Structure 1
Amino acid sequence: MQSLGQLLQTGDWKGEKHVPVIHLPNTIKKGEEIEVKVSIGDEIKHPNELKHHIKWIKVFYFGDDEKFPVQIGEFNFTAHGEAGVFAEPVGVTHFKLDKPGHIYAMAYCNIHGLWENKMELSFK
């Protein structure tokens, strides 16, 4: 049986509509509030309909020299055409850090499964 990690799919977010796109500020300073935005389909629009949609996005911070990642955001998209409402797969959260690391984003498509991306987070 496969581990969950073996089921995560990756790709170039400019060429694949399922990969979470992580948006971080150009300048990040230690101890100051950071905004991270995660979206799906920046270059290639992902379908957003009852039969095919993104169900959720989760965002984690994994600090350098840490043992475990910390979940910093979870976004659930529950409206996919019901009553004419379509929830767009975009989430924004704010947090503060005292050391560099990586931001990981994981998204779930109801047809194509789990997708992940990561981005280095360093202080300037």
Structure 2
Amino acid sequence: MLGNFIKSGDFKGEKHVPVIVAPEKVKANEWFEVEVSVGKEIPHPNTIEHHIAWIDLYAIPEGANFIQHIGRFEFVPELSEPFVKTKIKLEKSCRLIALSYCNIHGLWENDLEISVE
């Protein structure tokens, strides 16, 4: 049911889509940086009336029947931008999923496949 309310799109044409920047290939159990932002190509408003409230980052490991919640990053309108850089490590290949919440336009998602060697 929640999936019915999550929107997606091309971040170059839609300012709400979270953008994930990370290496396509990483080594097992070694830390690497992941950057997630909203408004990379088209700036998103950052006012009290219209802003990105938070970004969640998830991983779905290859062959897993569950999702791992990596973290939630909350933003204060006018004082912080919807941008986060964090370090993670993976045991096996997975799909990273970023979910962002706009206080007016709801939930937006994007994903990125990461191969683990």
CA contact (8 A) 1:21 1:39 kept: yes
Cα separation, 2, equivalents of 1:42 and 1:77: 16
1:76-115 per-residue CA deviation (whole Å, 9 max, x = no partner) reads 012x23xxxx210011221111100100000000000000
CA contact (8 A) 1:72 1:93 kept: no
Moved over 4 A (4+): none
Cα separation, 1, equivalents of 2:104 and 2:14: 14
- When Rg is computed on C-alpha atoms for both structures, the one with the higher figure is 1
**How many positions carry a matched residue from both structures?**
117
State the shift of 1:123 in Å.
Answer: 2.8
More strand by share: 2
Cα separation, 2, equivalents of 1:76 and 1:62: 22
Q: Which amino acid aligns with 2:58?
A: F
| TM-score normalized by the length of structure 2 | 0.94
1:5-40 per-residue CA deviation (whole Å, 9 max, x = no partner) reads 110000001110000000102541112102111000
Runs of 5+ unmatched residues, structure 2: none
Structure 1 equivalent of residue 96 of structure 2: 103
| TM-score normalized by the length of structure 1 | 0.89
Cα separation, 2, equivalents of 1:30 and 1:15: 34
After TM superposition, the structure 1 = structure 2 runs for residues 20-31 of structure 1, keeping only pairs within 5 Å, are 20-31=18-29
Identical aligned pairs, as a percentage? 47
Structure 1 equivalent of residue 110 of structure 2: 117
